[in-house]
A and B are shown apart, each in its own frame.
Chain A
Amino acid sequence: MDQLAQRTQDAAAHKPIISFRNIVKRFGSMTAVDNVSLDIMPGEFFALLGPSGCGKTTLLRMLAGFEVPTEGSVLIDGQDMGETPPNKRPVNMVFQSYAVFPHMNVADNVAYGLKIDGLPKDEIKARVQEALDLVQLGPLAARKPDQLSGGQRQRVALARALIKRPKVLLLDEPLSALDAKLREAMRFELSQLQQKVGITFIMVTHDQDEALAIASRIAVMHKGAIAQLGTPSDLYEFPASRFVADFIGSVNMFEGTLIKDGADEAVIACPDLAPYSVHLPHSAPGSAGASVWVAIRPEKLNLHKNASEPPAVPDCPPAHNVARGEIKEISYLGDSSIFHVQLSSGQLLRVSRPNRSRYEQEHFGWGDTVWVSWAGSSPVVLLS
């Protein structure tokens, strides 16, 4: 937890660039955002992640000034925004549809914000050129938006927002309108761009892969509240709830009872895994007798050929952290394969296995009976 301590220290050293303080937003009888408090530091690439309707877009629109909180306050660089209109805020936004003005060419689109600010013509021209070069659109300055691809239109939107030198750049589902291959490439470009300009980026997305790949910190939102806040690896390896464990990545989840909870050992009995139990080499949250959930990521499960005895798991008493089942389905993904193993209880386990070798020595086929095992450090124990 050194990292956390380090971050706490950093937080004390800097003033947050964005502060949400007890934000509540109601639309009629519907509560879109329910008492959210959140600080975002300068230079972060922050992601608001969650399923549709979780309030993440409403939060972003409150920063831009398109929505006003019902309760609470939004601070940008220490200044309470109150009802400051969008055109008076030091933030700019890249819209989901990009909202590139269709009646203006690329250069005019990018220059729009500076023309409004009444900058001298020479300066506008120089800065437009600079912004277009930044997003590699220099040669397309005279094009109309309908002559651009989706990716190019997004670059126009980025250049148009960045040219205003905002304190914070807001991105609303920036990659959702692009095709899969381009999306991968733009992820990389977005983080490169952010490092180059050094501006705080705040992105809204429903795509967990995207958030994990780009963001330095993520707030997972659920039903208008923040379910968990942390770095991508925090969220993936240390989810705080079943919702987060399930929303980020895929997970095998078992309901069980904590039957032994010591300082350096815990045992959980899960009906789905009977007669075997889950063993942890450390204490578990909750006290003995508590009902808990055990979550294990698919890539942390190992497959073994069928044998009369369960495989031995290092540092773990026998007949713990193992399960036996039948392979019901195999999804071949190229870089890895997903095996769906059905246990005798009927529960399906997802086991992910990298395809390291082009010639598989150890072949697992449909209908094979197999053993599944995992290390004691793999399971996450969740109380809610």
Chain B
Amino acid sequence: MALEKQSRAAFWVTVLPPTLWIAVFFLIPLGIVWAYSFGHNEGLTGVAITGTFDNYIRAFDPLYLQIFGKSIAVAGLTTLLCLIIGFPVALAIVFANEKMRPLLLLLVMLPFWTNLLIRTYALIAVLRTEGFANWTLAWFWNQGSTLAALVGLQPFPAYQPLELLYNNFAVVVGLVYVHLPFMVLPLYAALDRLDKSLMEASLDLGAGHLRTLFSIVVPLALPGIVSGVIITFVPALGAYLTPDLLGGTDSQMIANVIERQFKRANDWPFGAALSFLLMYATFAAIALRAYLTRGQPADGHGI
């Protein structure tokens, strides 16, 4: 009995603080924001919670729907690019020799340990008009021009720097760069668990590498692919800093609009409603994942 009592005490001691922390700093504020979404501004600072659905109705204005749609498109494109780039990377790490593997995983995770703001500013340095990308292109352009002159051709016209920054292209590049590890790690976990003899069996039965990839590896790694897609898509959909710093006037995403409601527009109830619409979209994505991986054990074995 004493032991049981002791373990019960230990249970509460370990469970209570984090629960309180989550309640006070996450659930309650979230509840307040949720409540705000059913209210309207009163005076300069007050919010009256009246149970109105006006904010949600306003969110379905074509102006905001378009930004929602655009955010989903940008996040979707980001996720697709991450998958296309991340799958071969994960596969390469799984098949790398054992000494190299931890190093390669470290390289994937390294950017995580650098501040997002710093990484984003570094991308600005790469993409801006006089940035490293344009500088490199200009170098090749000028070399080409010199070479052309040498063989007696007309030298090229002066190099026109590409507009790489402050547009949708820059936003997608930034989002792919930031979110790639989110895709690679779950893919790596899923592929690493895969019994290598299944791939060997496929080769042995006459399948080429590509056929083996699509008939055996991809279907068996599906839980990892779905996890990677969700884990990449959700934060990409709510991206704020990347479109803010790298985007142009037409590349704002839904998070930028929400920020504006809370700050410059001082319309907290509408900002709250937009926030919750974003959360519902996230829930839908997670529910979709649960649906797609239903009936499978969590570890991805024995599908």
Contacts and interface: CB of A to CB of B under 8 A. Distances in A.
A25 B85 CA distance: 36
A67 to B, nearest CB: 11
Interface stretch (B8-16, B161-169, B199-207): B199-207
A86 B303 contact: no
A185 B130 CA distance: 77
B302 interface: yes
Contact of A116 (B198, B200, B206): B206
A335 interface: no
A164 B203 contact: no
B182 to A, nearest CB: 25
**Interface bracket on A:** 20 to 34
Contacts of A276: none
Nearest to B207: A116
A217 to B, nearest CB: 24
B206 A97 contact: no
Contact of B204 (A92, A97, A101): A92
B207 A87 contact: yes
A102 interface: yes
B77 to A, nearest CB: 29
Most interface-central of B197, B206, B208, B220 (chain A CB within 10 A): B206
A99 B208 CA distance: 17
A57 B302 CA distance: 26
Interface in A146-201: 146, 157, 160-161, 164
A103 interface: yes
A99 B198 contact: yes
B216 A97 contact: no
Given A93-B201, A103-B219, A103-B303, A113 B195 contact: no
Given A102-B220, A102-B303, A116-B205, A96 B197 contact: yes
Contacts of B219: 103
Interface in A310-332: none
A97 B205 contact: no
Contact of A112 (B195, B200, B205, B303): B205
A85 interface: yes
**Interface bracket on B:** 20 to 34
Given A87-B203, A87-B208, A160-B205, A97 B197 contact: yes
B203 A85 contact: yes
Interface in B280-303: 301-303
A99 B203 contact: no
Contact of A95 (B197, B206, B215, B303): B197
Interface string A50-92: 0000000000000011100000000000000000011100001
A86 B203 contact: yes
Nearest to A93: B204
A85 to B, nearest CB: 7
Given A103-B219, A164-B205, A86 B302 contact: no
Interface string B174-215: 000000000000000000000101101111111110010001
A146 B219 CA distance: 16
Contact of B200 (A95, A113, A157): A95
B134 to A, nearest CB: 45
A156 to B, nearest CB: 11
Contacts of B205: 87, 92, 112-113, 116, 160-161, 164
A66 B202 CA distance: 12
Given A103-B219, A103-B303, A86 B198 contact: no
Interface string A84-125: 011100001101110101110000000011001100000000
B255 to A, nearest CB: 38
A99 B201 contact: yes
A97 B197 CA distance: 8
Contacts of B208: 87
A116 B204 contact: no
Contacts of A66: 200, 203
B302 A101 contact: no
Contacts of A85: 203
A103 B201 CA distance: 14
Nearest to B219: A103
A64 B220 CA distance: 24
Most interface-central of B204, B301, B303 (chain A CB within 10 A): B204
Interface in A289-306: none
Contacts of B197: 95-97, 99
A314 to B, nearest CB: 56
Interface in A241-285: none
Interface of B: 195, 197-198, 200-208, 211, 215-216, 219-220, 301-303
10 contacts: A64-B200, A85-B203, A86-B200, A86-B203, A95-B197, A95-B201, A102-B220, A112-B205, A112-B215, A116-B205
Given A87-B203, A99-B197, 7 more contacts: A64-B204, A93-B200, A99-B198, A99-B201, A102-B220, A102-B302, A160-B205
**Nearest 7 interchain pairs by C-beta:** A113-B205, A99-B201, A99-B197, A86-B203, A116-B206, A95-B197, A146-B302
Interface of A: 64-66, 85-87, 92-93, 95-97, 99, 101-103, 112-113, 116-117, 145-146, 157, 160-161, 164
